[in-house]
Amino acid sequence: MRLEGKVALVTGGASGIGEATLHKLAREGAQVVVADINDDDARRVAAEIEDVGGSATAVKVDVAVYEQVEAAVQHAVETFGKLDVIFNNAGIAGGKPLLEHDPSVDYEPMIAVDQTGVYYGILAAGRQFVRQGTPGVIISTSSIYGEQAAELAFTYSAAKAAVISFTRSAAYELAGHGIRCVAITPGRVGTPIIQQFDDDLKATFAAEQLRDRLTEPDEIANVVAFLASDEANVINGTVVHVDDGYSVFKQRLDLPVF
């Protein structure tokens, strides 16, 4: 088990990519902290991990509030003695044409969670790693939208682009402390955010990827577990595409033979 002895905190851990990653990290030997604004589901995930022999605890956190993120980090330390990995994964989505925006609805909340929440996670975990005097790993969820324009995604794309910039800058500043920082850019993943849509739209989303299907949360979790491990020590300041080829093509066309 390549994460034996590690302590990992995952925000947005009560569903989707976060939930799948927590189970994977625990199977790899990590002690895990399920951090989510949904306290009931966070406790459910922690209980499920413990039921199969893992070690887990849950903590309620609104990542848009620094004091709560800091408290979640301290909960990890108080429970397991230290922190080795944070996965800044909590996020919200939504879309509306720019000129129809209500800033208080369509800009400020998404920036608070998807952008500022990641900044808070990087800051709180980075400070804890330095206090411990130990290396650490900071992994943050960006998106394919963080590197390109997309439909109805003005705010979301901006926040996810900021995550990439945060990751690069943090890697540069924190390397001297033995801290690695990595961003992942998922494509179309079968999380509750996408599963809420009708079958036609989900099929359209699937067709945007090379395997012509939605990515499973477990597939993203496998990559995160590797990035959290010592096997990934040379991956630092990097954007890891986990998009099943979404970013390499636009759509499949029925072309004439010529």
Question: What distance lies between CA 85 and its chain's CA centroid?
Answer: 12
- Residue with token string 């994964």: 89
User: What is the token pair recorded at 20?
Assistant: 């799948």
- Residue with token string 């636009």: 250
How would you class 252 by CB atoms within 10 Å of its CB: exposed for 0-12, middle for 13-18, buried for 19 or more?
A: exposed
Query: How many Å apart are CA 29 and CA 111, to the nearest integer?
Result: 34
What would you report as the CA-atom Rg of the chain, rounded to the nearest whole angstrom? 18
Query: How many Å apart are CA 197 and CA 35, to the nearest integer?
Result: 26
How would you class 230 by CB atoms within 10 Å of its CB: exposed for 0-12, middle for 13-18, buried for 19 or more?
A: exposed
CA end-to-end span of the chain: 53
Q: Residue type for 84, please?
A: D
Residues 139, 125 contacting (CB under 8 angstroms)? no
Q: Which of 145, 156, 172, 246 is catalytic?
A: 156
User: What is the token pair recorded at 111?
Assistant: 């920036």
Judge whether 156 counts as a catalytic residue: yes
In 201-248, where do the E strands start and end?
Answer: 238-242
Q: Report, as residue numbers or ranges, the catalytic residues.
A: 156
